[in-house]
Amino acid sequence: MITIKPFKGVHPRAEYAKDISCPPYDVLTSNEAAKIASRNPLSFLRVNKSELDFPSGTNPYSYQVYIRGKENLNNLIRDGHLYQDDTENYYIYRISKGNHCQTGLAALLSIEDYNSGLIKKHENTDQCTVKDRADHIDLLNAQVGPLLSAFKNNESINDLISQITSNQPSIQFSADDETQHELWIIDNTESIEKLTVAFSNLDALYIADGHHRSHAAQQVFEKRKENNPHHTGDESYNFYLNILFPVDQLNIISYNRLVKDLNGNTLDQLLAECQKSFSVEEIDYPYTPDSIHHIGMYIMGKWYKMKLKNNILDSLNLLEKIDAGILYQFLLHPILGIKDPKTDPRIKYIGGDKKPKKLQNIIDNGGFAIAFTLYPTSMDQVLTIADAGKVMPAKSTWFDPKLRSGLIIYLLWE
């Protein structure tokens, strides 16, 4: 049985929502974040990436940086830009981009459900990133970055959400990245109870975007539970903030790669090695793969369209057929010498919101030697692998659009 819980959310007053909200902390470079924050003193980046308030070179994981984030959060509340509701509510968050629209429920999930596997994972986590986010939650005494999670389509949940969103939202704005955002506050006791019951009937939930933040919340739970001799299971640290979307509303786009060098190969040698496993066709345009198992490669001013040969593809299992894994198993590792795709400094990952022409320009300007474009992983692949208890290859999914930070915040209490 899935446990969800309403909470006294902190959110912007409607007139400040656009200025406060910002992209997630982990999709911006320091320079990109600094430019946004310099134009907007209310930006929530001052909470999520508070190293921006310090001189260049300041350790972003230092105690003083986390405490500045806490001060900036408290200032936004003190000055009335953010406020906390008096009652425990659910919240509906809708984000739209172009023709795409997804509507989810902001609620607290149980760490116990995470620990027991009712909340399913498909990624491994990096210890340093988990520690950063755990320290952030612990020292701010707040979870400021909601996770994006998914549930298999459920008619009763969809009907309840549709009824609520037929009313005007409390917050509505268009962000600078051309995404539209709406927030409804659910403070009706009957609606809260119906949603709680409907979600309790689900067999599982799935982490979509937020494995590190989930693990970080679990680490805070373990620390505070150990230090609390009167632990009951009702304390705020037993829960963490998620926004839950129906699976069929989530959108995954490509997650592309740049590699620094050819690992000592000439172009002819590289192509000859690739042709052992892939069909390779030179094309005269920037290539966005239009089918699963198609991969684009740009190198030395030329684009190539590649596909793993059928006799190899047919022998692979489900996990091995993820395109990110195919690229690693048959090219990045054996030919280009990328040993650990999560830590090797010779590889960089670029979200599919950057067009192939952008990747081509990076290569042409000499920063990297090769660009790879991939076809997006599907939600069916994600769910199948999560249900099997397996782990996706590194950097397999880029969910788009991204949730804005600063629109809904969960304060922990002791």
Element (H, E) at 335: none
Question: What number of other Cβ atoms are within 10 A of residue 239's Cβ?
Answer: 24
In angstroms, how far apart are the furthest CA atoms of the chain?
A: 68
Burial class (CB in 10 A: 0-12, 13-18, 19+), 285: exposed
What six digits make up the tokens of 81? 């830009």
In this prediction, residue 286 carries a pLDDT of 94
pLDDT of residue 317: 84
Packing angle, helices 211-226 and 127-140, rounded to 10:
60
Q: How many CA atoms lie within 13 A of 84 on its CB side?
A: 14
**Helix, coil or strand: residue 147:** strand
User: Would you state the pLDDT for residue 49?
Assistant: 93
The residue count for the chain: 414
Name residues whose C-beta falls within 8 Å of residue 355's C-beta, 6 or more positions apart in sequence.
286, 288
DSSP state, residue 234: -
Q: What are the phi and psi torsion angles at 105 (to 5°)?
A: -105, 125
Report the helix count and the strand count for the chain, using DSSP H and E. 14, 21
Give residue 26's pLDDT: 83
pLDDT in tens, 112-164: 999 999 999 999 898 999 999 999 999 999 999 899 999 998 999 999 999 99
pTM metric for this prediction: 0.93
Tell me what pLDDT residue 32 has: 86
Given a cut of 50, the residues of the chain with pLDDT beneath it are none
Q: Are 386 and 122 in contact (CB under 8 A)?
A: yes
- Domain map of the chain by residue range? 4-252+400-411, 255-375
> Do the beta carbons of residue 23 and residue 404 sit within 8 Å?
yes
Look up tokens 């091995």; give the residue: 320
- The CA–CA distances, whole Å, from 147 to 91, 200, 211, 244, 358 equal 14, 19, 8, 8, 29
Helix, coil or strand: residue 410: strand
Burial class of 351 by CB neighbour count within 10 A (0 to 12, 13 to 18, 19+): middle
The strand pair at 205-209 and 119-120 is best described as parallel
| Cα gap 260→268, rounded to integer Å | 18
Distance between CA atoms of 243 and 181, rounded to whole angstroms? 14
Q: ω into residue 345 within 30 of 0, thus cis?
A: no
Angstrom distance (rounded) from CA 104 to CA 109: 14
pLDDT at 330: 96
Residue type, 217: A
**Cβ contact 30:38 at 8 Å:** no
The fold for domain 255-375 equals: 3.30.1760
